Structure 1
Amino acid sequence: MKLIDLNSDGGIGANSLYVQLGDFHLVIDSGLHPKKSGREAAPDLSPLEGVKLDLIIITHCHLDHIGSLPLLMRRYPDVPVIMTPASRILIERMLHNSVSVMTREREEKGTPDYPLFTRDEVNRGLARMYAQPTGHAKKFSGAKDEIEFILHPAGHIPGAAAVEVIHKHRRLFFTGDVLFNTQRIIPGAKFPSARFDTLVTETTRGATESTPGVTRSTEMIRLVDTINATIQRGGSVLIPVFALGRMQEIMAILHDARKFHKLVDAPIFASGLGMDIADLFDDIAKKTGTVHFTRTILKELGVRKTPRDTVAGKEPGQQGIYVVSAGMLVERTPSYTLAASLAASPKHSICFVGYCDPDTPGGHLLAARSGEPFLFEAANVKVKLRCQVERFELSGHADREELLAYAVQCNPRSIVLTHGDPPARAWFMEQLREKLPNAKVLDPVPLQSYLV
């Protein structure tokens, strides 16, 4: 197998892998880097020059995995794109939203390349996007060679899939983004217990140590307790979330807590893309049965639209629980504005419930100390950090020990590390060399070609 990481910065960003098996050529995912703008945010497709691509596979619909898909499809106008049925329902809304965000950034920041593609281009591309149910083998033929592939449920978010590929007598497995634990809205990953020749694994939480006694259940209880204490002292709670998956998971947790009279009576605010996706989850639940989330949850919670009059640096006019994006407090998002409004008062709380890049405003806030000055640069607001800032281990990614155990179980001849920052990959490299001394472990340099 020939493999090239097309994410020019490596790490977690414009996720995209080019894979050649004999004379069969495929690309897995085509994302956008969340911290970059313009063409620099997209994968570098120059290694594909002269390649006759046969197939594109999408693992899931987060923008760091699909955000540049129309660019790849533009270069290869006849190549089919395969994904799960749930992802096929989600992808249209996600890509249209990306056009809206890029158009707004062009107006606000003057980014000349934006939007990288248009709504019409998204609409035209939908005819080439096909749903493939998980657990069903499908064969695809290239000019000379043929592959067989199977999508496997990967947890993480609705529609997320790992990819098993069989070429001649070789078996390869790409985990994609994976969570083995069951969430409120979807089951955990169901991976095959087979031996693979090559394993390509995500490494997101490789630098995160597990805390003894901390489970998903105990963290959900702690989150609800933190919300209750904050509201009872007169404060508001901000829960920054990713619009796809994380917002709906948190709403389901709050719904369960309220149903069993464990959650304080306070208004819940949300709006934007996450609410639209809730409608799509309702559709997915009815059509596929793979999601345990309906609009009834939001109705019974009495979720209100986030007030539009929130001003950075000024406390919000309504006390409540704010479940809003972006999950990492990216500048000029509702969560960023609300964080700048709550940070100065000890009565408020900011609760992080997912992965937070250390270089984002959310990462900076988690690293800051109480009482220190904190600058919300994009809002031109500087405060002394007094609010309660908490991180809850409710990540959509598997613990490193679980992924390590799966790698050992697969006993592959070679292992490729992806989707992780350098410290995370370094942990996996060290552990895999110890646990699987006969395996070739590769942390690929972006844009370099490897025979695996």
Structure 2
Amino acid sequence: ESNILMDFGINPAANTFSDTFPRIDRIPIPVENIDAIVISHAHLDHMGGLPLLFKYGYRGPVYMTEPTVYLMFLLLNDLYDVLQKNGVTPFFELKDLRTILQHTIPVKFGVVVDIAPDIKLTFRNAGHILGSAIIHLHIGEGLHNIVFTGDLKYDRSILLEHASTMFPRVETLITECTYGGQNDVMSPREEVENKLISLVNSTLEKNGNILIPTLAVGRAQEIMIILDNAIRNKKIPEVPIYVDGMISEVTAIHASFSNYLSKELRNAMANGFNPFKSEYVIPVKSSISKEEIAESRRNIILSPSGMLEGGPVLEYFKMIAQQEESIVIFVNYQIEGTLGSRILNGLRELTLQNSSGKVEALTIRSAIEKVDGFSGHSDRNQLLNYIRHVYTKKGPLFLVHGEAKKIQNMKKILNRIYGEYVYSPRLLETYRAL
């Protein structure tokens, strides 16, 4: 029997060091006895714990798509820098990242790879971020097929095609439920874009700034394209769009892997138009201070992290949140307990560390808005649709990756359709699929 580990992330909303990581001490086999690791995509909650596995002796192969290799290396380097800047000792050394790269094997969508004597791996497009993959494991002689969705989007976006359903057989399905709640239904895409443009225009009319905390991977590139198109089509005035943090580097990786993008973007790039280059987009360099940008007004700023948990966005937030005429617009999912989530739930008086490490009180005076619909996750209806297309009721259906109440809500619906086959595993629970 082979031992395969799918994804190994960290919890970005954890308040303690011990809550940050998966319980590596509870894996029922020694780390060095894992035969292969398969990573679905380059978000920290899916691959951020990889350095820990190598630190504790893993030296086997790690499979992921090629864009994921580049994005993972960039994000883990950034994580190392952020931890150091925040006075936290990183849980890995930079040499650990080089070791990971030496053991990483990039795999294209649709290519079948033997990852163990009794297991074949195939990646399919997940539609979540660049290079994100649904993991298909073909067990033994093919009598059992496991599909793990990772994070998926079963709807087309500006950047990517929708998640693939190209699986001849599925005996076990493991699916995410980020937006599995009863009210987790997103508005039509045109309506969502119009809301963003309207918020931008109303803020510019008041001579305010627009701060958009965003994930550096995926969401930032999509918002950049939407805003650039809006300026070109005279829907918003010609104003600078400042991008900070890793956004520029991540955008360059998107441009390098055009074959993973949506058909429209591929066609545009084949005809000589680069959607990731714009005269209005200005990467923030050392020559421009964040204070200058925040004080000069009528600027749009995109900066990670999307949940206000570290990153350069916090420096902008401290200034812009105190400007009554300005606005902070959240465009991605906010994990419960993060600063972004607490602000959306009404927090207006808070404390933050300044650059010298001192704690300062902050009162939020700016407008706070959330624009749903840009998420790289499927909403409730899209999830149900995807499950209907893929799952064949030949084995268990596992619901994971979501708040407990959302998972239970989704389970209730699916129990009516599939009966006793639906499971919602708790932490450290073990199931036998065969």
Letter in 1 for 2:218: G
CA contact (8 A) 1:346 1:388 kept: no
Note the 1:391-406 alignment, pairs <5 A.
Answer: 391-406=371-386
1:383 to 346, 351, 363: 363
Q: Following TM superposition, by how much is the alpha carbon of 1:193 offset from its aligned partner in structure 2, in angstroms?
A: 5.5
CA 1:376/1:224 → structure 2, altered by over 3 Å: closer, same or farther?
farther
Letter in 2 for 1:33: N
Q: Which residue of 1 aligns with 2:357?
A: none
2:194 to 221, 231, 236: 221
Q: Distance in 1 between matches of 2:21 and 2:336?
A: 21
Q: Which residue of 2 aligns with 1:279?
A: 252
Structure 2 residue 214 is the aligned partner of structure 1 residue 241: yes
Structure 2 residue 229 is the aligned partner of structure 1 residue 256: yes
Superposed CA deviations along residues 359-398 of structure 1, whole A, max 9, x for unmatched, are: 11111211218xxx53244452332545242333211100
Q: Which residue of 1 aligns with 2:412?
A: 430
2:317 to 335, 339, 343: 339
CA 1:296/1:434 → structure 2, altered by over 3 Å: closer, same or farther?
closer
CA 1:130/1:151 → structure 2, altered by over 3 Å: closer, same or farther?
same
CA contact (8 A) 1:324 1:335 kept: yes
- SS of the residue corresponding to residue 303 of structure 1 reads strand
Q: Does 242-251 or 34-43 show the bigger shift? A: 34-43
CA contact (8 A) 1:244 1:274 kept: yes
2:155 to 181, 186, 189: 181
Structure 2 residue 305 is the aligned partner of structure 1 residue 326: yes
Q: Which residue of 2 aligns with 1:153?
A: 125
CA contact (8 A) 2:244 2:312 kept: no
Letter in 2 for 1:241: T
Structure 2 residue 414 is the aligned partner of structure 1 residue 414: no
CA contact (8 A) 2:129 2:160 kept: yes
Letter in 2 for 1:204: T
Superposed CA deviations along residues 87-138 of structure 1, whole A, max 9, x for unmatched, are: 1222221222222122223x2xxx4xx2111111211221110111111222
Letter in 2 for 1:381: A
Q: Distance in 2 between matches of 1:49 and 1:60?
A: 25
Q: Following TM superposition, by how much is the alpha carbon of 1:333 offset from its aligned partner in structure 2, in angstroms?
A: 3.3
Structure 2 residue 5 is the aligned partner of structure 1 residue 34: no
1:266 to 211, 229, 239: 239
Q: Distance in 2 between matches of 1:316 and 1:129?
A: 45
Structure 2 residue 279 is the aligned partner of structure 1 residue 300: yes
Q: Distance in 2 between matches of 1:395 and 1:32?
A: 20
Q: Distance in 2 between matches of 1:405 and 1:297?
A: 32
CA contact (8 A) 1:247 1:274 kept: yes
2:96 to 80, 102, 121: 121
Q: Which residue of 2 aligns with 1:19?
A: none
- Percent identity (aligned): 24
Specify every segment of 5 or more residues in structure 2 that has no aligned partner in the other structure, as ranges.
Answer: 355-359
Q: Distance in 2 between matches of 1:211 and 1:346?
A: 31
Q: Which residue of 1 aligns with 2:139?
A: 167
- SS of the residue corresponding to residue 219 of structure 1 reads helix
CA 1:203/1:174 → structure 2, altered by over 3 Å: closer, same or farther?
same
- SS of the residue corresponding to residue 300 of structure 1 reads coil
Superposed CA deviations along residues 158-182 of structure 1, whole A, max 9, x for unmatched, are: 0100111111301111010001222
Superposed CA deviations along residues 280-337 of structure 1, whole A, max 9, x for unmatched, are: 222222xx453649876344324241753439xx96344300111110112x533233
Q: Following TM superposition, by how much is the alpha carbon of 1:151 offset from its aligned partner in structure 2, in angstroms?
A: 0.6
1:72 to 31, 50, 53: 53
- SS of the residue corresponding to residue 450 of structure 1 reads coil
Q: Distance in 1 between matches of 2:94 and 2:178?
A: 32
Aligned residue pair count = 411
- SS of the residue corresponding to residue 375 of structure 1 reads strand
Letter in 2 for 1:404: L
Q: Distance in 1 between matches of 2:84 and 2:366?
A: 36
Q: Which residue of 2 aligns with 1:190?
A: 164
Q: Which residue of 2 aligns with 1:4?
A: none
Q: Does 300-309 or 159-168 show the bigger shift? A: 300-309
Letter in 2 for 1:351: I
Q: Which residue of 2 aligns with 1:354?
A: 332
Superposed CA deviations along residues 35-89 of structure 1, whole A, max 9, x for unmatched, are: 2354541211123354421110000001111111122133344310001121122
Q: Following TM superposition, by how much is the alpha carbon of 1:358 offset from its aligned partner in structure 2, in angstroms?
A: 3.1
Q: TM-score, normalised by structure 2?
A: 0.88
CA 1:166/1:343 → structure 2, altered by over 3 Å: closer, same or farther?
same
Superposed CA deviations along residues 225-264 of structure 1, whole A, max 9, x for unmatched, are: 2111211221111111011111111111112212222222
Specify every segment of 5 or more residues in structure 1 that has no aligned partner in the other structure, as ranges.
Answer: 1-22
Letter in 2 for 1:30: F
Q: Which residue of 1 aligns with 2:64?
A: 83
Q: Distance in 2 between matches of 1:417 and 1:118?
A: 34
- SS of the residue corresponding to residue 276 of structure 2 reads helix
Superposed CA deviations along residues 191-226 of structure 1, whole A, max 9, x for unmatched, are: 2254421110000011262558x2122101211121
Structure 2 residue 261 is the aligned partner of structure 1 residue 290: yes
Q: TM-score, normalised by structure 1?
A: 0.84
Q: Distance in 1 between matches of 2:301 and 2:351?
A: 19
Structure 2 residue 291 is the aligned partner of structure 1 residue 310: yes
CA contact (8 A) 1:61 1:160 kept: yes
CA 1:382/1:75 → structure 2, altered by over 3 Å: closer, same or farther?
closer
Cα RMSD of the aligned pairs, angstroms, is 2.4
Letter in 1 for 2:384: L
1:205 to 173, 176, 179: 179
